[in-house]
Amino acid sequence: MFLQPQIMNTAYLLIGSNLGNKAAYLMQASVLLEIYCGKIIRKSAYYETAPWGFLEQPAFLNQAIAIETTLLPEQLMKTLLEIETKMGRIRSIELGPRNIDLDILLIDSYIIDSPTLTVPHPALPDRRFALSPMAEIAPILVHPILKKTIQELLEECKDDSDVQKKII
């Protein structure tokens, strides 16, 4: 019997928190990502960002992370949701405050549109809080639909919300 080789994908995630000790939540999420999803190969600095959508909430701390994973995209999304649950995330207000948020932005050059997952993340080109940390770790990565680099998307982004690199 022969083992099938596992395909290694690079997934780009945005992790964020705007409740409690935000930096501690991001560090805990990184540990759990390595345990359950794969090896972290790049991390951006932390970025403090204004809330998006639901504005009556604290600022977020966000970080882009690149991981090497053998999980299939749908499995990865399911695992991220399980990590959020393990960390105590409660979904009460859409786009509302949360101790942890784990989003898939891109997975290699995959284009996926299923009931449970859309990759690339459809709002990525419109969100400075996602593009800024992504440009730090993968500026020349090409968006598979728009055929522009992350750096180009950041330069063209019309979102003028406040995004500040933080030293923690």
pLDDT value of position 89: 74
Question: What is the average pLDDT score of the chain?
Answer: 91
User: Of 42, 91, 101, 113, which residue is the catalytic one?
Assistant: 101
Confidence at 3, pLDDT banded by 50, 70, 90: low
Give yes or no for residue 28 having a pLDDT over 70. yes
Domain coordinates in residue numbering, the chain? 9-166
pLDDT value of position 153: 98
pLDDT value of position 131: 98
Give yes or no for residue 9 having a pLDDT over 90. yes
The predicted-structure confidence for 83-120, as pLDDT tens digits, reads as follows: 999 998 776 666 557 789 999 999 999 999 999 999 99
Residue 162 annotated as catalytic = no
Q: How far is CA 57 from the centre of its chain?
A: 20
**Average pLDDT of the segment spanning 63-79:** 96
Q: CATH topology for 9-166?
A: Alpha-Beta Plaits (3.30.70)
Residue 113 annotated as catalytic = no
Between the CA of residue 42 and those of 30, 64, 91, what are the distances in Å?
A: 11, 8, 28
pLDDT value of position 92: 65
Residue 98 annotated as catalytic = yes
In the chain, pLDDT over 90 holds for what percent of residues?
75
Rounded Cα distance, 94 and 78, in Å: 19
Confidence at 5, pLDDT banded by 50, 70, 90: low
- Tracing tokens 């180009």 back to the chain, one arrives at 152
User: Of 89, 108, 126, 159, which residue is the catalytic one?
Assistant: 89
3-state secondary structure the chain: CCCCCCCCEEEEEEEEECCCCHHHHHHHHHHHHHHHCCEEEEECCEEEECCCCCCCCCCEEEEEEEEEECCCHHHHHHHHHHHHHHCCCCCCCCCCCCCCEEEEEEECCCCEECCCCEECCCCHHHCHHHHHHHHHHCCCCECCCCCCEHHHHHHHCCCCCCEEEECC
Give yes or no for residue 57 having a pLDDT over 90. no
pLDDT value of position 35: 97
Residue 103 annotated as catalytic = yes
CA atoms within 13 A on the CB side of 74: 5
Give yes or no for residue 1 having a pLDDT over 60. no
